[in-house]
Structure 1
């Protein structure tokens, strides 16, 4: 079922979109996802333009119908950092636990972790997760939540056996609404 776990990775960077800065965060997140069994079917580098970001997120969910869209960049305090706003504009339900877990991990590393503005939510059957723009922070944040994302997608898509237990056959306690 590994290929059923489809993902898109979108890098948001004005400089990256103009070819003036090499994107290392997007490829790093792709590598992490592939290492966890995700099939990365789409990548893009876009400028920090809210309408373009919204259109890309909608296309990944409604058009490409990927299970997971991960963004990197545009989550800071700069006036052009609008990824969380674009995400919140297109999702139908928020998933606050995901950015909370990422912030908790970031705060273990630096007090600046409290300055993150990442969002996460659901559009249709697609989970959308914002990560920071720096490769190091993006890796740390995705790493904090990656072990839970497949289960989230399984619940979202109603795939059989979604709460049956772990591969080892033992049941886990679930802290979600089920």
Structure 2
């Protein structure tokens, strides 16, 4: 009776090994993508954090390629913060780095960074990760550099895919 189950188990073990080997040689990657529901969740967390801190800011959420998924300009925020929040979020997604880190690098004689396409190397943005992959980013604009950065960084770090 025990032998009756050995052949199916052997087949399953062999098939699993072949599938795993094939996945390593694949010419296509499968990645997690930030959904609109995920973007709204990030936006809600960021807005709540900004309100707790007494901030009046614009908040942008982009996907891993820098395309806008969610946005809010809080009441009484400066109208110029709209585009800045979006640019900050795009920078974090495209260059897979916090805006604060890029700003520090620019100030440390790496000014060439400012020539990169679409870069906004200022504090207030953070990439959203799923494992080793950037799936989106948060950009915040309208308060001090430190406050913008804190809201963006805390929001991104708290996200659970």
Higher helix fraction (1 or 2) = 2
Structure ID, larger Rg: 2
